[in-house]
């Protein structure tokens, strides 16, 4: 997928407008909108069931939308003519469940999509995969199998695997929620490294320390709408919406 002609990097890299989405008669997104600029880190927080996962799945086309628009680099994600594979190369996604292939080594997991899906030459892919393993601070673990790695290490392999497709935007859906507390930090450090290099990142997370430190903007969702948003400096101290305040009082 190439950027829409006319799109320039000073325009939002992700633009979400008036998005509605129902599953049957359950309306999960009720008119959600926001813009993300290139290099920004956006955190989405909110209670379970409020539509956070659905929203980010819509951004890389895993979920269809009923109304509204989602553009990545100016291109409408839900245009039926859009090449979905190209979109998923451009927009990487990491889930809570890392789902690595257990019978492949860490390095092989990272190499798999570029070799099998993109048909890129193996030697080239391997050289890049080794660099990505180093980037996620897993140098020396290339030949370990997922079962030999901690949850945090496996999640970092999953991040490297996603980066192997060379995305412009990364989506993270509660990637630390299933991890032991001692390995949460190493995954957050990896994401912080990516952000520092200028990667555009959208994260659904309840790691408030991370959000406070790294996010450019925080969105709070409840029952399918964004009820509050702001930069971290004001979001945590000046939240006006009672639901946001209650949520924050439970987790801070
Ligand atoms: P969150 O990530 O904030 O916890 P989700 O986006 O996962 O929220 O879910 C929001 C609502 O959408 C929930 O009521 C959930 O049951 C429903 N939902 C999510 N995915 C599906 C699906 N594929 N089919 C039917 N209902 C779904
Ligand atoms: Mg979710």
pLDDT at 144: 98
Q: Which ligand is nearest to the CA of 32?
A: 1
* Tens of pLDDT, residues 173-213: 999 999 998 899 999 999 999 999 999 999 999 999 999 99
Query: Is the shortest distance between the CB of 25 and ligand 1 below 6 Å?
Result: no
Sheet strand arrangement including 225-230: 91-94, 169-173, 200-204, 41-45, 217-222, 225-230
pLDDT at 85: 86
**Cα separation, 149 vs 153, whole angstroms:** 6
pLDDT at 221: 96
**Cα separation, 184 vs 92, whole angstroms:** 20
| Ligand 1 centre distance from Cα of residue 29 (Å) | 10
Is ipTM strictly over 0.95? yes
- Residue 75 pLDDT class (50, 70, 90 cuts): very high
Question: Is residue 147 a part of any domain in this protein?
Answer: yes
The domain tally of the chain equals 1
- State the chain's mean pLDDT as an integer: 94
Query: Is the shortest distance between the CB of 48 and ligand 1 below 6 Å?
Result: yes
- CA proximity to 118, closest of 89, 157, 90: 89
Task: Tell the residue nearest (CA) to atom 24 of ligand 1.
Answer: 23
pLDDT at 237: 87
Considering the entire predicted model, what is its pTM?
Answer: 0.95
* Tens of pLDDT, residues 81-135: 999 888 988 999 999 998 999 999 999 999 999 999 999 999 999 999 999 999 9
Q: Could you tell me which residues are beta bridge partners of residue 3?
A: none
pLDDT at 169: 98
| Ligand 1 centre distance from Cα of residue 188 (Å) | 25
Question: Is residue 8 a part of any domain in this protein?
Answer: no
| Number of Cβ atoms within 10 Å of the Cβ of 118 | 13
Q: What are phi and psi of 56, to 5 degrees?
A: -75, -25
Q: Are 229 and 239 in contact (CB under 8 A)?
A: no
pLDDT at 250: 82
pLDDT at 251: 76
Element containing residue 160 per DSSP (H, E) = helix 151-163
Question: Is residue 56 a part of any domain in this protein?
Answer: yes
What is the extent of the structural domain holding 93?
A: 14-251
- Residue 3 pLDDT class (50, 70, 90 cuts): confident
Domain harbouring 31, CATH code: 3.40.50.300
Query: Is the shortest distance between the CB of 162 and ligand 1 below 6 Å?
Result: no
Task: Tell the residue nearest (CA) to atom 7 of ligand 1.
Answer: 53
- pLDDT mean over 203-229: 95
Strands 217-222 and 225-230: antiparallel
- Residue 249 pLDDT class (50, 70, 90 cuts): confident
Question: Is residue 6 a part of any domain in this protein?
Answer: no
Question: Is residue 90 a part of any domain in this protein?
Answer: yes
pLDDT at 151: 95
Question: Is residue 166 a part of any domain in this protein?
Answer: yes
Pocket test for ligand 1, best of 21, 24, 49, 62 (most atoms within 8 A of CB): 49
pLDDT at 51: 97
Query: Is the shortest distance between the CB of 21 and ligand 1 below 6 Å?
Result: no
Confidence check: pLDDT of 136 > 90: yes
- Residue 230 pLDDT class (50, 70, 90 cuts): very high
Question: Is residue 200 a part of any domain in this protein?
Answer: yes
The DSSP symbol for 2 reads P
Question: Is residue 4 a part of any domain in this protein?
Answer: no
Query: Is the shortest distance between the CB of 51 and ligand 1 below 6 Å?
Result: yes
């Amino acid at each position: 997928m190439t950027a829409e002609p006319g799109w320039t990097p000073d325009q939002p890299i992700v633009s979400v407008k008036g998005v509605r989405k129902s599953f049957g008669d359950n309306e999960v997104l009720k008119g959600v909108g926001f813009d993300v600029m290139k290099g920004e880190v956006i955190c989405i927080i909110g209670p379970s069931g409020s539509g956070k996962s659905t929203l980010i799945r819509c951004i890389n086309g895993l979920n269809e939308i009923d109304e509204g628009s989602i553009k990545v680099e100016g291109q409408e994600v839900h245009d039926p003519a859009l090449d979905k594979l190209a979109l998923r190369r451009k927009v990487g996604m990491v889930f809570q469940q890392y789902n690595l292939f257990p019978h492949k080594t860490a390095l092989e997991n990272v190499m798999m999509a570029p070799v099998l899906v993109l048909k890129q030459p193996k030697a080239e892919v391997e050289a890049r995969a080794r660099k990505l393993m180093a980037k996620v601070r897993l140098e020396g673990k290339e030949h370990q199998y997922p079962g030999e790695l901690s949850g945090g290490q496996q999640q970092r392999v999953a991040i490297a695997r996603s980066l192997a497709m060379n995305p412009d935007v990364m989506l993270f859906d509660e990637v630390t929620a299933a991890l032991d507390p001692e390995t949460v930090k190493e995954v957050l450090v990896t994401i912080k490294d990516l952000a520092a290099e200028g990667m555009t990142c959208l994260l659904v997370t309840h790691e408030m320390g991370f959000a406070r430190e790294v996010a450019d903007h925080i969105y709070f969702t409840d029952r399918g709408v964004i009820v509050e948003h702001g930069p971290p400096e004001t979001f945590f101290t000046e939240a006006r919406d009672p639901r946001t305040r209650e949520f924050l009082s439970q987790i801070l």
